[in-house]
Structure formats: C-alpha cells, structure tokens
Amino acid sequence: MYFASDNTAGVPPEMIQALADANKGFVLGYGNDDYTRRLNERMSKLFEREVATFLVPTGTAANAIALAHIMPSWGGVICHQSAHIMTDECGAPEFFGGGTKLFGFPGDDGKLSLATVKDAIAQYSARRPHQVNAAALSITQATESGTIYRAGEIAALCETAHAAGLKVHMDGARFGNALVRLNASAADITWKAGVDVLSFGATKGGAFAAEAIVFFDPKLAEWMPERRKRGGQLLSKHRFIAAQFEAYLEQDRWLAWSRHANAMADRLAEGLKAAGIQIVWPVEANLVFAIFPQETDARLKAAGAAFYGRRPSMLPPGIKLQSGAILARMVASFATTEEHVTRFVALARG
C-alpha cells in the first residue's frame, strides 16, 4: 500500500533491460552516440515537428534550466502557488536564473485560470525598471492537485502569455498521466497549444533518472549545451540516459504505464468515495487527494499504508479540516496493484 510518491516505486524490468542492452561496447560520451541521436529523432516524431531535446537526470534541473533559458534574470515567472518550482525545488529556478523571481497565484483545482494570468500579467508589466515584470508563464501538467489542463485551456493561456511577450514553460513531470487522460496528441497539448518548452519527465513514470527538456523551436535552444554542461547536468555516459528515455517511449510503454497509474488512482478514489471519504479535487491523473478523519488516518498508518499529508492551506476555500483530520495525498504509479488499492480502501472504510 505504497502511495507516498511515484518516485518510490523503483523501475519496471524493461528499464533494467534497456540499460543492459545499451551496455554494448565503446561509445563516445556526452551525447555523441547513436542512442542519443535516435532518441532525438524519436522525440521529433512524437511531437510531430523538429524539436531540440536535452536530457538531464532530475526534474528540478529540467525546470530550472528550461526557465533560465527562456527568460532574462530580471524577469518573473507566473505560476500556481503550489507549483513544484515554487514550493519544492529549494530555489533552483531562482539560482539557475541568476536571481529570477517567481510569482505564485492561487487557482481552483491547482490550475491557473485565464483571468488570473491576465491579471498577473497586467500587474507585472509595469513600472520599468523598478518592478520585476513577468517574462514567463509556467504551468504544470498534470498539476500538483492531480488535475489536467485541457488543450483549449493551454492554448488560451499561451495566447495571452505570448501576446504580452512571455514565453511558456510546461512542467511535465507527469506529462504521460495527463496525456493519456485527454483525447489529444503530445503535440496538441504542447506546441500546437503554444508551449515553448517542456520539462518532459520519465522518472516518475518509470525511468531511473531521466528528464527531457524539449524546445519546440530548436532556435530557442541555442547555447543550451553550454547551459546544461555548466549546470553540471551533462552526463558523460550519456547513452544510458538516452536508453532510459527510449525504453520509456518504446512500444508506447509510457502511455500504458501512465494509463495503469491513472486507473489505479481512479479505482482508489472511487473506493474511498464509496467508503464515505471526501475526495478534494477531480482525479484526472495518478494523484488522489482525500480528507481522512483522524481515526482513518491512524488506522491506515498502523496498517503500514504509506502516504503524505499536505498543507491544509492547499485546500479549496470551502473545505475545513475537522480536528485531527488530514489532507492526504495518494500517488499511484506503474507499480501500484489492484490489491494495494483494495486493501487501502478496505482499511479506510474501517
């Protein structure tokens, strides 16, 4: 009953096999290899246009370096107040950006509304050179609340951002989980909707440590090799990170794994709801947020169920926690089984 995070699950056996397969003979380092070239081509195919791909071992690095590359250090990033870049990266975007400012805004269901972004841009496009003004918009897909932006929502946000001169970054640490829920292609919810650069995560989805920074306009990626290297993010035995990403994409495994994780989250949410537990946000990806009364929480933990409590301040305005109750986050992954879910729900029911 391990629902603490999607990074606690290890990797599917295909990942280990991929490393073993790539471990053949001598190959030049630093990305000058066929694995990397093949992955680049595959990325372009996946996104239905020529893209520039840069692999890095952590999602924090992917986000921070991508943002630093599309904006000047005196710019600000409009994001949701619970975005990973805002709350969980120990200031990496500020550091890699040379002192970037992040502007966190509230938004229902963990999403930024068009109105919020318009207001934010209006507020942070003034009083030069005294105020830090907005230079980028960063949205998370799927969000930290487990919800998903629709293609139309993304397009509207991007159009507004671009009209004001902002670039758009998408934190896709759970990009697969979002994609499989939508009747859309990877292109539809990224560059076709206006996204300029994507942090495309494979680690949560099944890789050891593989994240891709994908620039949809390769010209925008000029000098990224230097930025990545200087950020200590260029792996020497680069074939192995390319091989991980290839294995992730091969045979649409990433979509299958994401579908499975989402299905487990759905099942969990339905089970909990049926057990009278309040589910906080729509379950659209592999995350379930629920309110556990104190005794439920205690019972689950006593039985060894693993999950984290989140700040009550994340809760929507209408919801208050009873004394001892917690806002619990459960994350499903490729490794979550129906049995885990069934036992968890049974325990929650009491």
Q: Which is nearer to its own copies, 213 or 291 (CB)?
A: 213
For residue 146, the minimal CB distance to its own copies (Å) is: 18
Are 42 and 185 a contacting pair, CB within 8 Å? no
- Rounded Cα distance between 97 and 65, Å, is 8
Shortest Cβ 280–its own copies spacing (Å): 20
Smallest distance from its own copies to CB 123, Å: 8
Closer to its own copies by CB, 107 or 205: give it: 205
Nearer to its own copies, 37 or 45 (CB): 37
* Residue 227, token pair as written in the block: 């930025």
- Cβ distance to its own copies smaller for residue 99 or 318: 99
Q: At 145, which helix (H) or strand (E)?
A: none
CA dihedral sign, ordered 318, 319, 323, 327: negative
Amino acid identity at 288: V
Dist CA 251 CA 63 (whole Å): 27
Q: Which is nearer to its own copies, 56 or 186 (CB)?
A: 56
Smallest gap from Cβ 83 to its own copies, in A, equals: 13
Pairing of strands 167-172, 133-140: parallel
CA distance 110 to 103: 15
Task: Output the smallest distance, CB 232 to its own copies, in A.
Answer: 3
Q: What is the Cα–Cα distance from 222 to 225, expressed in whole angstroms?
A: 8
The nearest distance, CB 8 to its own copies, in angstroms, is: 5
What gap in Å lies between CA 338 and CA 18, rounded to an integer? Answer: 27
Q: Which two tokens stand for residue 160?
A: 């507004």
Specify the residue, 65 or 345, whose C-beta has the smaller distance to its own copies. 65
Shortest Å distance, C-beta 21 to its own copies: 10
Place of tokens 């949205």: 139
d(CA 258, CA 254): 6
Q: Do residues 335 and 9 touch, judged by C-beta distance below 8 A?
A: yes
How far is residue 346's CA from residue 350's CA, in Å, rounded to a whole number? 6
Q: Which residue, 311 or 320, has its beta carbon nearer to its own copies?
A: 311
